[in-house]
Every structure is written in C-alpha cells, then in structure tokens.
Structure 1
Amino acid sequence: MRCPYCSTDNSRVVESRAGDDGNTIRRRRECTNPECARRFTTYERVEQRPLMVIKKDAKREEFSYEKLYRGVMKACEKRPIPAEKVEEVVAGIERSLHLEYEREVPSTVIGEKVMEALRELDGVAYVRFASVYREFRDVETLAQEVLSLLTESSDKGK
C-alpha cells in the first residue's frame, strides 16, 4: 500500500480489526521508509456491484461513499461529533441502500436517509443538511423545520 505522505510504495500492517459494521476491515499501517515512518489507516471492504444513483434531472451516476461521507461531514462540521460516528452513519446508510436496492436508487431516497440519520445524531447538523437538501427558499420554511425539531425534542424529553 502506497504511503499517502511520502508515496513510498510499501507499508506494513501494524494492527487489523473488523469495522463496527462487520463488513469492513480497518488496518493501521506504517510506512517502511525510515525517513517517513508515519502511520495511516486504510479500510478494506467487499467490492459490490456498483449502485447507480438516479439524480433529480434523471441523469445517473455511480454511488460514491466518499461523496456521501463529505456531505455528512460538512453538515457535522464544528459540531461535537466524532469522525467515527460519522463513519458509522455513512456506512449504515450505504449498507441499507445495498440491501434495499439492487441496481439503482433515487437520490431523494439517499437524501431522506441522511436527514433521518442526522436528525437522530445532531439537530444542528440535521438543519444544516436539510437547508441545502430541501433548498429552503425563505426563513419561514427554515423556522418551521427548526420548530418541528424542537417540538420533537421536547416530546422525547417527557
């Protein structure tokens, strides 16, 4: 495995363990270049048939774990949410998509799954994502969404 820091094409595995979802293996690696010797993490997962995402304009593109991860991370930016929790959320969404859809999935389904997961994880991250995903046109629509989140939150506390 190539080192992401010095590009040496050799590294050694220091530690391996199964991911939380049971479908990945997390490997801690160390660069064998003595001048670098830095550590990094890689993930190994079973290669699955590509899942195609049907966009709103009916175009299709291949599902991207990295794109989904970046979107969720952006919503969680500057929030007290560990990166591992974000990885769990994204892996869970990816797993459910592969279980529910064989070849193609509408982008709206992905957006709704992300919103559902973020709503459970963190209210601010949820509102951030929802404001972009739902394309709120005005402050009133955003306020309604926040109020529904507050109402739901207070109902849970009872």
Structure 2
Amino acid sequence: MKCPYCGHPDTRVIDSRPAEDGSSIRRRRSCDECTKRFTTYEKVETIPLIIIKKDNTREQYNRGKIESGVLSACYKRPVSADDIAKAVNKIENKIFNLEEKEVPSSRVGEIVMEELKDLDEVAYVRFASVYREFKDVNTFMKELKKILDK
C-alpha cells in the first residue's frame, strides 16, 4: 500500500481488526520511509448491482440514495446518527444478500420500510408517504392503521 504522505510504495500493517460495520477490515499501517501512520479499510468487491426503476430504466446501485432517504425520514426525530448508519448497513446487507444482479426499486423500498418500521414509526410513515405516493388522506390512514393494529 502506497503511503499517502510521502508516496513510498511499501508500508506495513501494524494492526488488523474488523471494522464497526462488520463487513470490512480496518488496518493500521505504518510507513518505514516517513514513519507516519494511517488507516485503510478493506472491503470485498461485489458485482455491480443494478436497480430497476419504476419506469423500467436501470441505474447502478447507490448507497448514498438510501442514506439520503433514511436521513430525510428521520429528520428531527430522536434517532442517533449511529442508529441511522447501522440501519443503512442492515438495508444494504439485505439488498446484497438477495444475490441478484438486478433488483427492482420497489423491493429496495420495501426493505427500507421494514428497517424504518423497527427504527422509528414516524420515520417509517414519512418514508412510506413519499415511497407509496399517498394520493389522499384515506390511503395515509390505512398505512397508519397497519402500524396501530400491531
């Protein structure tokens, strides 16, 4: 691994451990040339995942879109940044565990809603109202009744 400080092509690993998300390895490295230390993360390379949109167009999976949707749904809610990050990691793991090259956006939306239901019910309803495109109050009330009945 090339040193980010001096550019020396050879560095050594001082410490290796699983990262917080459990899906990557965190490595502390040291440069023998300039003696500076830095951290790298090693993650398994996956096949590019394609999302099939409602209009049948296809685009490459983008974790940022899920993060953005979950953050918007949790806006001004008592949900910690750490809990949001864990939820996004769970969502991503569920999507990749489907082991499909192409996944409909509707399936991704359902996975996000499942996770939000456990995280925060208000965030769930917010996300569902945008995702399911509630046309009127009755549709909205039906979704609320599902939550209240449980």
**What band does the TM-score fall into relative to the shorter chain?**
0.7 to 0.9
Match of 1:115?
113
Match of 1:101?
99
Contact 1:50 1:63 in 2 (8 A): yes
Pair 1:124–1:42, CA change in 2 (3 A): farther
Give the counterpart letter for 1:104 in structure 2.
E
Report the secondary structure of 2:103's partner residue.
strand
Give the C-alpha shift of residue 24 in structure 1: 2.6
Aligned length in residues: 129
Contact 1:25 1:44 in 2 (8 A): yes
Identical-pair percentage: 51
Give the counterpart letter for 1:136 in structure 2.
F
Pair 1:76–1:134, CA change in 2 (3 A): same
User: C-alpha distance in 2, partners of 1:123/1:42?
Assistant: 36
User: C-alpha distance in 1, partners of 2:76/2:41?
Assistant: 25
Match of 2:19?
19
What whole-Å deviation, never above 9, does each CA across 1:64-100 have from its counterpart, x for those lacking one? 1111111111101111111111111111111121121
Q: TM-score, normalised by structure 1?
A: 0.72
Unaligned runs of 5+ in 1: 1-8, 29-40, 153-158
Pair 1:82–1:100, CA change in 2 (3 A): same
Report the secondary structure of 1:115's partner residue.
helix
**In angstroms, what is the RMSD of aligned CA positions?**
2.5
Unaligned runs of 5+ in 2: 6-14, 29-38
